[in-house]
Amino acid sequence: MRAGPRSEELYEEACLLMPAGVNSPVRAFRSVGGTPIFYDSASGCRFTDADGRSFIDYVCSWGPLILGHAHPAVVEAVASTAARGLSFGAPCEQEIELARLIIDAVPHLEMLRFVSSGTEAVMSAVRLARGVTGRDEVLKFDGCYHGHADHLLVSAGSGLATFGNPSSAGVPASFAAHTLVLPLADEKALEKLFKERGDSMAAVLMEGIPANSGLLIQRPGYLRKLRELCTRHGVLLIFDEVISGFRLGAGGASELWGIDPDLSTYGKIIGGGLPVGAYGGRRELMEQLAPLGPVYQAGTLSGNPVAMAAGIATLQQLLADRGAAWQQLESRAGRLAQGIEAAFSSAELPFSVVRAGSILWLCLQEGEPPRRFDRISQDSARRYAILHEALLEERIYLAPSAYEVMFVSTAHDEAAIEESIRAFEQALGRVGREMLG
């Protein structure tokens, strides 16, 4: 059994009040089946559900909680800041402090603006790129997620068409028509598109580490080619670092690849569990924003002091001891990946674990892990649903979708990692055959 009786009861009530009982679709467990588990409280790498059962959490609020749940330094910063005012709608010192931490950590950033979500950050960065270049078209890649802004809810067209189709009802085809979509990892397609449309493109959006449809790690040469083409055609390269920012190290994916984008977007970790997003880049670009320039963007709660405080406390913990936290994450996540792969082998399953730092993806198919979305096997979702349920019985909580990754936090200590590996061994021993079948 997945959800306990209290979760079942809460879910029934939630469904009367909110569509599918949730405020973000993947939470509804539709792709793994069953009833969502209601969280009651959480601390470190574990949470307690509404039925009083404890689980090791590998969702960690979908990435923000790199220090685990309710880290004492973050909770203390939030509480003491909240006591001095919840929102000002006017400048406050915390904004400077968080901006300074981010800008000092990321060499290509000179200025930032804070917003309240990753979606908003990307939406605003694209508007800025269009405003600066005077061009309308934007290129994104199939399988990358950049939030739910209308013109980015677009998937690859059929056949060779590069013009996107709306991937959600309610998105006018005329909006999607400004969005071009290519598969990842295809240098020839990239060159061809730039040749045809490079001079009418405002921006290319690339996830620093594509981690929203499995973990589709790109080759550095491909990313360098992208940078080169953007420069040649006057197209702004936007790295969407909403997941990768401060996840892999202080400088995010741009540091990892040694590539300077023109603009970057942030969210998740920089808010430490509270709603924050940010976008930034070179001074001359950012100074095109209102009130200095013609590109409008605003927010009632932007730079909220409590959210800033959570971000500051989180980044301070990460940056302490010259980034020791990331080294610890690397070794814990490495051990977990290796333990899970060993469990796959002893259950005679031809699966692998794809890993970038503390991001893991269970690649439930044979052979070389895919680098593009359309190479993810259709079978993997069915296999994942079986494994997901078996792991819940072992009190391990993974994201309720095969396309989502696992996040390891600094609170996942050695004991929790070893416990998780044993849980995978148990679960796979029980359902391994069924997954293959």
Q: Which residues bind ligand PLP (CB under 6 A)?
A: 117-119, 122, 145-147, 207, 212, 240, 242-243, 267, 277
Task: Clarify whether 403 is annotated catalytic.
Answer: no
**Two tokens, residue 120:** 């908003």
Out of 140, 268, 279, 397, the active site residue is 268
Cβ-based nearer residue to ligand PLP, 360 or 386 = 360
**Nearest-approach distance from CB 153 to ligand PLP, in angstroms:** 12
When the beta carbons of 205 and 417 are compared against ligand PLP, the nearer one is: 205
For the bound state, the minimum distance from the C-beta of residue 22 to ligand PLP, rounded and expressed in Å, comes to: 14
Considering beta carbons, is residue 117 or 179 the nearer one to ligand PLP? 117
CB of 258 to ligand PLP, least distance (A): 20
Q: Out of 240, 266, 279, 397, which one is annotated catalytic?
A: 240
Instruction: From the candidates 145, 279, 397, 403, give the one annotated as an active-site residue.
Output: 145
Q: Given the complex with ligand PLP, which of 23 and 41 has the nearer CB atom?
A: 23
Kindly tell me which of 46 and 372 has the beta carbon lying closer to ligand PLP.
Answer: 372
Chain residue whose CB lies nearest ligand PLP: 118
Q: In what order do the strands lie in the sheet with 54-57?
A: 39-43, 46-49, 54-57, 396-397
Is 240 annotated in the active site? yes
Closest CA to 177 of 157, 193, 194, 204: 157
**DSSP-assigned letter for residue 281:** E
C-beta of 249 vs 267, nearer to ligand PLP = 267
Rounded to 10 degrees, the C-alpha dihedral 384/390/392/398 comes to -20
Separation in Å, CA 10 to CA 7, 26, 37, 57, 61:
5, 17, 9, 20, 20
**Taking CA 104 as the corner, what is the angle to CA 100 and CA 108, rounded to the nearest 5 degrees?**
115
Is residue 389 within 8 A of residue 34, CB to CB? The reply is: yes
Q: Is 380 helix (H, G, I), strand (E, B) or coil?
A: helix
Q: How far is the CB of 309 from ligand PLP (least distance, A)?
A: 18
**Nearest of 316, 408, 270 to residue 73 by alpha carbon:** 316
CB of 242: closest distance to ligand PLP in angstroms?
3
Least spacing, CB of residue 367 vs ligand PLP, in Å: 26
Q: Is 268 a catalytic residue?
A: yes
Q: Report the alpha-carbon distance of residue 96 to residue 251 in Å, rounded.
A: 19
User: Which of 141, 286, 162, 131 has its CA nearest to residue 226?
Assistant: 141
Q: Indicate the burial class of 241 (C-beta count within 10 angstroms; 0-12, 13-18, 19 or more).
A: buried
Confirm if 381 and 42 have CB atoms less than 8 A apart: no
Extract the tokens encoding 218.
Answer: 């790109």
User: Measured from the CB atom, is 140 or 388 closer to ligand PLP?
Assistant: 140
Could you count the other beta carbons within 10 Å of the beta carbon of residue 104? 12
| Shortest spacing between CB 243 and ligand PLP, in angstroms | 4
Give me the active site residues, please.
145, 240, 268
